Each structure stands twice: as structure tokens, then as C-alpha cells.
Amino acid sequence: MKKIVHQAVYDTLADWETGHATAHLRNGSWHREPGAYEIVTVGLTTDPVVSMGGLRITPDLALDQLSPDDSALLILPGAELWDGGHELAPFARKAREFLAAGVPVAAICGATAGLAKEGLLDDRDHTSGAVQYLEAQEGYAGAKRYLDQDAVLDGDLITAGPTEPVAFAREIFRRLDVYRPEVLDAWFRLFGRSDASAFEVLMTA
């Protein structure tokens, strides 16, 4: 059976932030287990949403149908709605459920603010666009665990800022053990640093 990775989708989601992760999970090239992953989208409801780039997406299932028992990972992309109120708070509460069950959660950009408000960053190493961004979120008390890095993996939690979709994907792949270490290093050097010497490593993987 394929492992299911769930990606949250909602109006104003930032299209560019999760594409490397979902495309390369689904594609299977260079994987330890080719063809192991399937991407399933999750909305607040199954009503269509429109991304920041204008893509219309119909979620595969509604959030109240999502259980960590059925998932290998929950991905939370950024969106303007994370900064516009509490509409997306149910996704942060679902992230709490996933983490409590030992199922990883990956949050990037504004989604890190949602987790901050939920108190999920207070006792875990994490990053975001800037620590000041998280300090502006009501309920955040995790500045002592903030790391000024491209992406951070701490146990079952992966975080990144809006300019780091490739590093975000790298830490997702690391947590899921998708690639052998030398392949993961080459993947990041190629897609994150445009290092042509990494291509040969991938072609012989």
C-alpha cells in the first residue's frame, strides 16, 4: 500500500512553498522505495479553494475526516489567511493531534504562525521567516527555541520560512527517510544550489 502524505489546501495558499516536496515525493525518482507515496489534499471542507497564484483546487477530503492513523505526514503551506484571523486554526489543532500521535507535521511560512498560536513551537526547535514574526503571534512563547536556519527538523516537526521551499522539502525527505544520505545531499545541491556536479550522483543513484 502507498503511504499517504496529506497536504492542507485553503484559499490564498502559497503555491510555491510545497511544490518541491509533493512533486518529488510523488515522482519516486531516486527513492529508497519508488512509488511509495501518494499526495492527498485536505480542506476545511471539500469545497474548492483558490491559491495565491489563482489555481483552483478541489480538496480530496475534509479536515474532519483526517486522522493521523491514515497518514505519513501533514504538510501545512503558508497562506494570507494565517495572518488574517482564526479561520485556519482547525489545521493547527489537527497538527497538535498529529504530533501527539507521533506523525510528523511540516509547516512553512504563515503556517508556522498558526502553530505558534497553538503553542506547538514553545518546546521544539523551529524556524520561520523571522523570530519577530512569531513573537507577534498571541500565545507564542518559543523564542528561546527559534533557530535562524533555512529549515529545521526537531523530532516530528519540520519548519521553514517562505524563501526556503527546497530546504523545507529536504527536511521532509530526511524525516521520512526517502533518500539515502548521499542522494539527499545531491538532491539539495542540485535543486537548492544549482550545483551541476550533483546531477551525476542522482543519475547513478
Q: How many domains does the chain have?
A: 1
Tens digits of per-residue pLDDT, 107-149? 999 999 999 999 999 999 999 999 999 999 999 999 999 999 9
Looking at the domain assignment, is residue 203 inside a domain?
no
DSSP 55-95: -EE--SEEGGG--GGG-SEEEE--BGGGGSSSTTHHHHHHH
Please give the share of the chain, as a percent, with pLDDT higher than 70. Answer: 100
Q: Which amino acid is at 53?
A: G
Looking at the domain assignment, is residue 200 inside a domain?
no
What pLDDT is stored for residue 43 in this prediction? 98
Cβ neighbours for 22, distance < 8 A, ≥ 6 positions apart: 5, 7, 39, 75
For residues 46 and 59, the answer to whether their CB atoms sit within 8 Å is yes
CATH of the domain at 40: 3.40.50.880
Looking at the domain assignment, is residue 30 inside a domain?
yes
Looking at the domain assignment, is residue 199 inside a domain?
no
What pLDDT is stored for residue 154 in this prediction? 98
Q: What is the pTM of this model?
A: 0.97
Looking at the domain assignment, is residue 195 inside a domain?
no
pLDDT surpasses 90 at 84: no
Q: What is the mean pLDDT of residues 170-177?
A: 98
Work out the mean pLDDT of the chain and round it to a whole number.
Answer: 97
| Half-sphere exposure in the Cβ direction for 19 (13 Å, CA) | 11
Alpha carbons 179 and 185: distance in angstroms, whole number: 9
- Grouping H, G, I as helix, E, B as strand and the rest as coil, residue 96 is helix
What pLDDT is stored for residue 58 in this prediction? 98
Looking at the domain assignment, is residue 12 inside a domain?
yes
What pLDDT is stored for residue 1 in this prediction? 83
Residue 85 — very low, low, confident or very high, per pLDDT cuts 50/70/90? confident
Domain that includes residue 84, residue range:
3-178
For residues 107 and 156, the answer to whether their CB atoms sit within 8 Å is no
Q: CA angle 151-99-49, nearest 5°?
A: 75
Please give the share of the chain, as a percent, with pLDDT higher than 90. Answer: 96
Residue 205 — very low, low, confident or very high, per pLDDT cuts 50/70/90? confident
Looking at the domain assignment, is residue 190 inside a domain?
no
Q: Is the dihedral of CA 175, 176, 180, 183 positive or negative?
A: negative
Q: What is the mean pLDDT of residues 165-180?
A: 98
Structure-derived torsion over alpha carbons of residues 6, 12, 16, 21, reported in degrees to the nearest 10? -10
- DSSP letter for 16, please: G
Cell of 44: 476545511
What amino acid positions are annotated as catalytic residues? 109
